[in-house]
Amino acid sequence: MTLRLTGIASLFACTLLTPAAVGDEPVKKTVKASDGLSIACDVRGKGDTALVFLHGWGGDREYWKHQADAFASDYTVVTLDQAGHGASGTDRKAWTIDALAGDVEAVVKELKLKRVVLIGHSMGGSVALLAAKKLPGTVVAVVGVDTLQDAEFKRPDDVVKSLFAGLEKDFKGTVGGMAGGLLPEKVDPKLKDWIGEKAASRDPAVQLALIKDLFALDQKKAFKEAGVPVRCINSSGGFQYYTPTAVETNKKYADFDAVTIADVGHYPMLEKPKEFNEKLHGVLKGLKK
């Protein structure tokens, strides 16, 4: 799972700037979405291929703090706050995964990116699939991070209803419980608190709308219509809300493959950043073949 939201940011489209050199501070940009909402992003590095990192439900671009500089020597790196999260806008009439994908399209076009790999954690993986459909010929691959495990997976109705009821009644308390169930027991408690507090700070109405739309998304259709290779770096298990990765099932709907990381929960890029970065380098290298 993943979600979150908050704060109203300023609303202007920004002039394209040269990406930051490796080691420099990122170029901070604000891109105007199709409905006028502001999308905050950072641009780093250099390279003909751009890596656009998409956080999950309740997160923000800080989720990629261990990756942004690490990949900037070989790629243009873009990290963004999805609408309803971080410094991006919150004044939107309809909160859907497709609208978030439209925001990604706006960022890619504003930055004039020509060859893009979308890297999405949790909810960000589904956003990436829908964005790939909107950007044929520009997006060349989607890399999911503990997400897109099984295109045919169906959550039990009673579990979904219970979750929604909890979020409606006690948003912060329910989100805190979710954070615990998405991480192993032995995780650094500071990381657990950081993830939970970030998610709990989002606008409950926005987050509830997004998670409902996410759970209703036709994943099989999204896989098929993305039209690009899909690779995943997923957890191998060991936490309450773990979902096994069904490689053979997903291959029915896309050019799919996955690697796993042991002894992590839902946030491998934060829990084991060194190993995660090695896995991501390997996945990206494999996509070039």
Where do the domains of the chain lie?
27-287
Specify the pLDDT at position 4: 37
Q: How far apart (Å, rounded) are the C-alpha atoms in residues 77 and 117?
A: 10
Specify the pLDDT at position 11: 31
DSSP letter (8 states) at residue 67: T
Specify the pLDDT at position 144: 98
Q: How far apart (Å, rounded) are the C-alpha atoms in residues 128 and 122?
A: 10
Confirm if 44 and 64 have CB atoms less than 8 A apart: no
Of the CA atoms within 13 Å of residue 18, those in its CB half-sphere come to 3
**Residue whose token pair is 């979405």:** 33
Contacts of 142 (CB under 8 A, 6+ apart): 117, 118, 119, 120, 125, 128, 129, 132, 148, 226, 228, 229, 230, 231
Other beta carbons less than 10 A from residue 84's beta carbon? 29
Q: Which residues pair with 261 in a beta bridge?
A: 235
Other beta carbons less than 10 A from residue 120's beta carbon? 29
Distance set, CA 274 to CA 112, 143, 268 (Å)? 30, 17, 10
Instruction: Compute and round to an integer the Cα radius of gyration of the chain.
Output: 17
DSSP letter (8 states) at residue 136: B
Q: Which residues pair with 136 in a beta bridge?
A: 139
Q: How far apart (Å, rounded) are the C-alpha atoms in residues 96 and 167?
A: 17
Contacts of 222 (CB under 8 A, 6+ apart): 126, 129, 130, 133, 151
Thinking of the domain 27-287, which architecture would CATH place it in?
Answer: 3-Layer(aba) Sandwich (3.40)
Per-residue pLDDT of the chain (289 residues; tens, 9 = 90+): 433 333 333 332 333 333 344 457 899 999 999 999 999 999 999 899 999 999 999 999 999 999 999 999 999 999 999 999 999 999 999 999 999 999 999 999 999 999 999 999 999 999 999 999 999 999 999 999 999 999 999 999 999 999 999 999 999 999 988 988 999 999 999 999 999 999 999 999 999 999 999 999 999 999 999 999 999 999 999 999 999 999 999 999 999 999 999 999 999 999 999 999 999 999 999 998 7
Q: How far apart (Å, rounded) are the C-alpha atoms in residues 268 and 239?
A: 12
